[in-house]
């Protein structure tokens, strides 16, 4: 397929995004605009200077900059604008359903109220549902470099907004912060009715994926790249239909892989894993959903059937009800039949 044909094919596919940190969709232009509006000086003097800093050797180098960027978010309107910018962008890429992570602790640690953060994000998601026809779920993520006690405080703060929050996740610095550190707070979160997911096996070993499954009882793994080193783990993921939310451009930018040709998604599909493609932190890693689909398809020479499978998996692995899943999946199939 030519570049133009592959791009056009991908642009037309209805798809769901299941691994997106809203703070990671903060484009430098909007960041500067909001920093001026709030009178908060960024450490960088220009958009160009900031973009120059987006060169990472590992997850931690990225996180250090990601947390700096988030510091300009203060008011409900800021969180609304951030979320609305993401939604309008992915709407142009035929994303029809999103499951969005937010990191409350990144903001509450700076004195911003939990309510301010979630009100802004939720109002934009509702507007996106009404005006752009994008359905959504919201996932509150605990920062794993902080203590379990801190996560418990966050769980407590979330309770007045429980009806808006569908699940909890675990993100930030993986190495040295295993899922086992958060067993109690995940149990308490499940007792509140939250669904459970966790980042595991991005930089950390396959043991962290086992822990996320067996100790935290998650129903989906974010990233999970490292599972291929363990046949028993692969068998478990397949048997229990545990989806992986992979993020190829993120993996490349954070040196989880050295080149896109090394990305494990094709092998995972071949082994029957419910693999999906997502953008993680698109403002930092050079692409939203379509760029992730495109770069992966090109480098791994994915067939049309494999690309279709990825889109179907994105709905299968979502938290939509069965009726909505089936509707989207048949739309994906008709699209591929029509081309
Ligand atoms: N990994 C861990 N934490 C994160 C990421 C990620 O890819 N993105 C934002 N927070
Ligand atoms: Zn992530």
pLDDT confidence of residue 123: 99
Largest CA distance in the chain: 53
Q: Does 202 sit in the ligand 1 pocket, CB within 6 Å? A: yes
pLDDT tens digit sequence for 263-312? 999 999 999 999 999 999 999 999 999 999 999 999 999 999 999 999 99
Nearest CA to ligand 1 atom 10: 172
pLDDT band at 121 (very low <50, low <70, confident <90, very high): very high
Mean pLDDT for the stretch of residues 8-28: 98
Separation CA 97–CA 95 (nearest Å): 6
pLDDT value at residue 213: 99
CB 278 near ligand 1, within 6 Å: no
Residue 49 phi, psi (nearest 5): -60, -40
Cβ atoms 265, 300 nearer than 8 A: yes
Q: Is 26 helix (H, G, I), strand (E, B) or coil?
A: coil
Measured over the CA atoms of residue 71, residue 75, residue 79 and residue 84, the dihedral's sign is negative
- Whole-number average pLDDT of the chain: 98
Q: How far lies 85's CA from each of 30, 31, 66, 124, in Å?
A: 9, 11, 17, 9
Angle, alpha carbons 6-18-58 (nearest 5°): 85
Burial class (CB in 10 A: 0-12, 13-18, 19+), 259: exposed
CA–centroid distance, 101 to ligand 1, in Å, is: 10
Ligand 1 probe mutation, 179, 199, 212, 226, most atoms within 8 A of CB: 199
Residue 337 Cα to ligand 1 middle (Å): 36
Average pLDDT over residues 134-154: 99
Rounded to a whole number of angstroms, the distance between the first and last alpha carbons of the chain is: 13
The span from the CA of 25 to the CA of 299, in Å, is 24
21 lines ligand 1 (CB under 6 A): yes
What's the pLDDT score for residue 274? 98
Strands (E), 144-298: 167-171, 195-200, 220-223, 243-246, 275-277
Rounded Cα–Cα distance for residues 249 and 288 (Å)? 9
Alpha carbons 4 and 7: distance in angstroms, whole number? 5
- Residue 202 annotated as catalytic: yes
290 lines ligand 1 (CB under 6 A): no
Residue nearest to atom 2 of ligand 1 (CA): 172
Q: Which residue has the tokens 């919201």?
A: 138
Ligand 1 touching residue 199 (CB < 6 A): yes
Q: Are 199 and 145 in contact (CB under 8 A)?
A: no
Question: What is the mean predicted confidence (pLDDT) over 92-115?
Answer: 98
C-alpha torsion sign, points 216, 222, 226, 232: positive
Distance 330 CA to ligand 1 centre (A): 32
pLDDT confidence of residue 152: 99
The ligand with the least distance to the CA atom of 59 is: 1
Whether 19 contacts 247, CB under 8 Å = yes
Note whether 199 and 174 are within 8 A (CB): yes
């Amino acid at each position: 397929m030519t570049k133009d044909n592959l791009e056009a094919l991908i642009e037309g596919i209805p798809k769901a995004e299941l691994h997106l940190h809203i703070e990671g969709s903060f484009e430098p232009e909007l960041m500067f605009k909001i920093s001026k509006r709030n009178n908060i000086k960024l450490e960088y003097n220009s958009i160009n200077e900031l973009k120059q800093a987006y060169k990472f050797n590992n997850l931690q180098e990225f996180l250090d900059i990601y947390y700096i960027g988030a510091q300009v978010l203060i008011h409900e309107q800021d969180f609304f604008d951030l979320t609305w910018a993401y939604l309008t962008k992915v709407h142009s890429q035929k994303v029809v359903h999103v499951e969005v992570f937010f990191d409350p602790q990144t903001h509450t640690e700076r004195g911003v109220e939990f309510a301010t953060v979630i009100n802004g994000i939720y109002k934009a998601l509702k507007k996106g549902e009404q005006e752009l026809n994008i359905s959504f779920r919201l996932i509150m993520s605990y920062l794993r470099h902080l203590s379990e006690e801190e996560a418990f405080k966050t769980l407590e703060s979330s309770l007045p907004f429980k009806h808006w929050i569908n699940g909890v996740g675990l993100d930030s610095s993986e190495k040295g912060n295993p899922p086992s550190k958060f067993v109690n707070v995940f149990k308490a979160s499940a007792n509140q009715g939250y669904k459970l997911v966790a980042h595991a096996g991005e930089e950390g070993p396959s043991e962290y994926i086992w822990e996320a499954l067996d100790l935290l009882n998650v129903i989906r793994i974010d990233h999970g790249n490292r599972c291929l080193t363990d046949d028993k783990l692969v068998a478990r993921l397949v048997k229990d239909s545990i989806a992986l939310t992979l993020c190829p451009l993120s993996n490349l930018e954070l040196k989880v892989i050295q080149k896109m040709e090394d990305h494990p998604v094709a092998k995972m599909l071949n082994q029957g894993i419910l693999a999906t493609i997502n953008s993680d932190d698109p403002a930092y890693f050079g692409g939203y959903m379509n760029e992730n689909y495109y770069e992966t398809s090109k480098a791994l020479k994915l067939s049309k059937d494999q690309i279709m499978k990825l889109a179907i998996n994105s709905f299968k692995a979502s938290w939509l009800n069965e009726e909505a899943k089936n509707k989207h999946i048949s739309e994906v199939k008709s699209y591929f039949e029509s081309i």
